[in-house]
Chains A and B, each alone.
Chain A
Amino acid sequence: MNAYVRRSWVAGMLIASLMLTAIAQASVPADGDAAARPKVAIKAAKIITMDVDDTVINNGVMLIADGKIVAVGKQSKVEIPEGFDVIDHGDGWILPGLVDCHNHIAGSLFDLNDGVYLTNPGLRTVDVVTPRNENLENCLSGGITSVLLIPGSGNNMSGFGTTTKTFGNSTDEMVIKAPGSLKIAQAGNPERYWYRVGRRFMNWNLRQTLEKAKLYHDGWTAYQKGEIPEPPTFDIVWSDFRDLFDGQFPVSVHTQIYQVYMTTITMLRDHFGLDVVTDHSTFDSYKLASLIKERDMYAIVGPRVFHFDRRDRTINGCAARFAEQGIKRLGINTDAPVIPQEDLPYQATMACWYGWNDHYAAIKGITRIPAESLGIIDRVGSLEAGKDADFGLWTGSPIDPRSVCKKTFVDGRIAYDVEVKRRTR
Chain B
Amino acid sequence: MNQRRLHHFATMTLMLSAAIVAFASVAQAQTVVLENGKIIPVNGEPIEKGSVLIKNGRIEAVGESVDAPFDAKVIDCEGKVIFPGMIDAHTWRGLDVPNESPGVTPFLNVYDAIDPSQLFFEDSLRDGVLSIHVSPGNNTIIDGMTRVVHPIGLTPEQMTTAPDVAMKLSVTPKTGYDRMRQMAEFREAFRKLDEEMGQLAEKKYEDKLREDEKDLSVPPDEAREKGKELIEPKDIPDKNRNLLMLSQGKLRNFIYCGAAMDVPAAIRTAKQFGFLDQSVLVLGSETFKAVDALKEAGRPVVLDGNLVHTEADALTGEEEETFVPKVIDDAGLKFALQRQWGSTLGERYLWYQAARCVREGVSRDHALKSITLWPAEMLGLGDRLGSLEKGKDANVLVLSGDPLDMTTWVELGFVQGEKVYDKAEDIRLNRLFAAPEDELGPSTAPVSEPVEEGHTEVHKGEYQEPKTDQ
Contact A200/B445 with A259-B113, A338-B469 known, Cβ cut-off 8 Å = no
CA distance A257 to B113 in the complex (A): 12
Shortest CB distance A156–B (Å):
12
CA distance A9 to B444 in the complex (A): 55
CA distance A263 to B112 in the complex (A): 8
Q: Are A258 and B470 in contact (CB under 8 A)?
A: no
Q: Report if B329 contacts A (CB, 8 A).
A: no
Task: Pick the residue among B16, B96, B114 that contacts A287 (CB under 8 A).
Answer: B16
Q: Are B12 and A312 in contact (CB under 8 A)?
A: yes
CA distance A417 to B116 in the complex (A): 51
Q: Are B469 and A303 in contact (CB under 8 A)?
A: yes
Q: Report if A96 contacts B (CB, 8 A).
A: no
CA distance A152 to B470 in the complex (A): 5
Q: Are B11 and A312 in contact (CB under 8 A)?
A: yes
Which residue of the partner chain B has the closest CB to A112? Answer: B470
Contact A201/B100 with A104-B470, A290-B20, A291-B155 known, Cβ cut-off 8 Å = yes
CA distance A294 to B154 in the complex (A): 13
Task: Pick the residue among B108, B115, B445, B465 that contacts A311 (CB under 8 A).
Answer: B445
Q: Are B470 and A266 in contact (CB under 8 A)?
A: no
Q: Are A314 and B12 in contact (CB under 8 A)?
A: yes
Q: Are B470 and A199 in contact (CB under 8 A)?
A: no
Shortest CB distance A102–B (Å):
10
A201 to chain B: which residues have CB within 8 Å?
A: 100-102, 105, 108
Q: Report if A58 contacts B (CB, 8 A).
A: no
Binary per-residue interface labels of chain B (109-141) against chain A in the complex, 1 for a CB within 8 Å, 0 otherwise? 110111111010000000000000000100000
CA distance A287 to B12 in the complex (A): 9
A195 to chain B: which residues have CB within 8 Å?
A: 101
Binary per-residue interface labels of chain A (304-328) against chain B in the complex, 1 for a CB within 8 Å, 0 otherwise? 1000011111100000000000000
Q: Report if B107 contacts A (CB, 8 A).
A: yes
Q: Are A258 and B12 in contact (CB under 8 A)?
A: no
Q: Report if B238 contacts A (CB, 8 A).
A: yes
Q: Are A198 and B16 in contact (CB under 8 A)?
A: no
Task: Pick the residue among A188, A198, A203 that contacts B465 (CB under 8 A).
Answer: A188
Which residue of the partner chain B has the closest CB to A288? Answer: B154
Q: Are B469 and A153 in contact (CB under 8 A)?
A: yes
A204 to chain B: which residues have CB within 8 Å?
A: 107-109, 112
Interface centre among B5, B12, B144, B238 (most CB of A within 10 A): B12
CA distance A254 to B110 in the complex (A): 21
Q: Report if A196 contacts B (CB, 8 A).
A: yes
Shortest CB distance B351–A (Å):
24
CA distance A257 to B96 in the complex (A): 12
Contact A198/B8 with A188-B469, A290-B154, A303-B469 known, Cβ cut-off 8 Å = no
Which residue of the partner chain B has the closest CB to A150? Answer: B470
Which residue of the partner chain A has the closest CB to B110? Answer: A200
CA distance A104 to B469 in the complex (A): 10
Interface residue SS majority, chain B = loop
Q: Are B470 and A335 in contact (CB under 8 A)?
A: yes
Q: Are B8 and A313 in contact (CB under 8 A)?
A: yes
Shortest CB distance B368–A (Å):
32
Within 8 A of A (CB), among B445-470: 445, 461-463, 465-466, 468-470
Q: Are B144 and A200 in contact (CB under 8 A)?
A: yes
Interface size on A, residues (CB 8 A): 45
Q: Are B462 and A259 in contact (CB under 8 A)?
A: no
Q: Report if B308 contacts A (CB, 8 A).
A: no
CA distance A259 to B469 in the complex (A): 19
Q: Report if B290 contacts A (CB, 8 A).
A: no
B463 to chain A: which residues have CB within 8 Å?
A: 257, 283
B470 to chain A: which residues have CB within 8 Å?
A: 104, 112-113, 152-154, 189, 335, 337-338
Q: Are B155 and A200 in contact (CB under 8 A)?
A: no
A198 to chain B: which residues have CB within 8 Å?
A: 95-97, 99-100, 113
Q: Report if A197 contacts B (CB, 8 A).
A: yes
Q: Report if B177 contacts A (CB, 8 A).
A: no
A112 to chain B: which residues have CB within 8 Å?
A: 470
CA distance A62 to B105 in the complex (A): 62
A290 to chain B: which residues have CB within 8 Å?
A: 20, 154
Q: Are B105 and A310 in contact (CB under 8 A)?
A: no
Binary per-residue interface labels of chain B (332-346) against chain A in the complex, 1 for a CB within 8 Å, 0 otherwise? 000000000000000
Shortest CB distance B447–A (Å):
9
Q: Report if B157 contacts A (CB, 8 A).
A: yes
Q: Are A310 and B469 in contact (CB under 8 A)?
A: no
B156 to chain A: which residues have CB within 8 Å?
A: 266
Q: Are B5 and A203 in contact (CB under 8 A)?
A: no
Interface centre among B114, B238, B466, B468 (most CB of A within 10 A): B466
Q: Are A312 and B466 in contact (CB under 8 A)?
A: no
Binary per-residue interface labels of chain A (256-275) against chain B in the complex, 1 for a CB within 8 Å, 0 otherwise? 01110011001000000000
Shortest CB distance A207–B (Å):
8
Within 8 A of A (CB), among B200-244: 238
Q: Are B9 and A314 in contact (CB under 8 A)?
A: yes
Q: Are A266 and B155 in contact (CB under 8 A)?
A: yes
CA distance A16 to B466 in the complex (A): 30
Within 8 A of A (CB), among B70-114: 95-97, 99-102, 105, 107-110, 112-114
Binary per-residue interface labels of chain A (203-215) against chain B in the complex, 1 for a CB within 8 Å, 0 otherwise? 1100010000000
Which residue of the partner chain A has the closest CB to B97? Answer: A198
Task: Pick the residue among A203, A259, A309, A338 that contacts B12 (CB under 8 A).
Answer: A309
6 A-B pairs (CB sep. < 8 Å): A197-B101, A198-B113, A204-B108, A262-B155, A288-B154, A312-B9
Given contacts A312-B445, A338-B470, 11 further A-B pairs with CB under 8 A are: A152-B470, A191-B465, A195-B101, A201-B108, A259-B115, A259-B116, A303-B469, A313-B445, A337-B470, A338-B468, A338-B469
